[in-house]
Amino acid sequence: MKPIRLVIADDHLLFRQGLRLLLKSEPDVEIVAETDRADELPALLATTPCDQLLLDLQMERNALADIDTLCKRVPVVVLTASEVPADAVAAIRKGARAVVFKRFAIENLMDAIRMVASGNVWLPVSLQTQMAARLRSPGGMALSPREEEIVHYVGRGLRNAEIAKTLAISEETVKTHLSKIFRKVGVRDRIELALYAARVGGN
């Protein structure tokens, strides 16, 4: 089984060193490159085959502005010292596949990396709890079989175009289904829908 190839982008030397020590002990991952500069990332990713980018959200500039572009190249796992829910949600909405709070990196990072490698989205339990508390309890308006399929794929982190291709339907049809699903289960966006999917076993 090939290891998961990682690029680390973090401008804190001590934290990067700690990550290296943590990840060296894991047989299923390999660090292929690292940088402490956000402006070097596009060129680095263009020349370095990798499977995931571990990205510090607070580098010399806030990386939120770069995430949507970087996610088009490689799945992004955000590392952040901020435990403000809005920052994590913003990162996921821009395309990040996981958010790991630095304070809990030792306990959570490998879980996040492996979940992303398997095609899923990973969020800290504390954030899941806060967001899930706002959701309507399962068992409201019934979803159609097609809507259940779409919930499943949203829970796995697929975008509308990917869902459309998988189900052989148009992207516009996916958007229509999502609008109905949001109303039925009482969520406001894809992030809350992914949490709903996790609660009811949809992913």
Q: What is the pLDDT of residues 104-151, one digit of tens each?
A: 999 999 999 998 998 878 888 777 666 655 555 455 577 888 998 998
Q: Is 100 in contact with 78 (CB distance < 8 Å)?
A: yes
Secondary structure letter of residue 144 according to DSSP: P
C-alpha distances in angstroms, 146 versus 120, 121, 173, 189? 20, 21, 11, 18
Task: Quote the tokens at residue 45.
Answer: 């990713």
pLDDT in tens, 51-110: 999 999 888 666 777 888 888 899 999 999 888 877 887 888 788 889 999 999 999 999
- Which of 49, 40, 53 lies closest to 7, judged by CA? 53
Per CATH, which fold does 4-122 belong to? Rossmann fold (3.40.50)
Task: Tell me the domain boundaries of the chain.
Answer: 4-122, 134-199
Whole-model pTM above 0.85? no
The residue written with tokens 């403000």 in the block is 84
Burial of 14 (0-12, 13-18, 19+ CB in 10 A): exposed
E-strand spans in 10-161? Answer: 29-35, 52-56, 76-80, 98-101
In the chain, what are the helix, strand and coil shares in percent, each to the nearest 5?
50, 15, 35
Range 134-199: architecture per CATH: Orthogonal Bundle (1.10)
pLDDT reported for residue 202: 42
pLDDT reported for residue 156: 78
Please indicate whether the domains covering 4-122 and 134-199 agree at the CATH topology level.
no
Task: Quote the tokens at residue 24.
Answer: 């060296």
C-alpha distances in angstroms, 104 versus 83, 86, 123? 11, 18, 12
pLDDT in tens, 15-60: 999 999 999 999 999 999 999 988 888 899 999 999 999 999 888 6
Q: Which residues on neighbouring strands pair with residue 101, listed in sequence order? A: 80
How far, in Å, CA of 183 to CA of 176, rounded? 11
How far, in Å, CA of 34 to CA of 56, rounded? 11
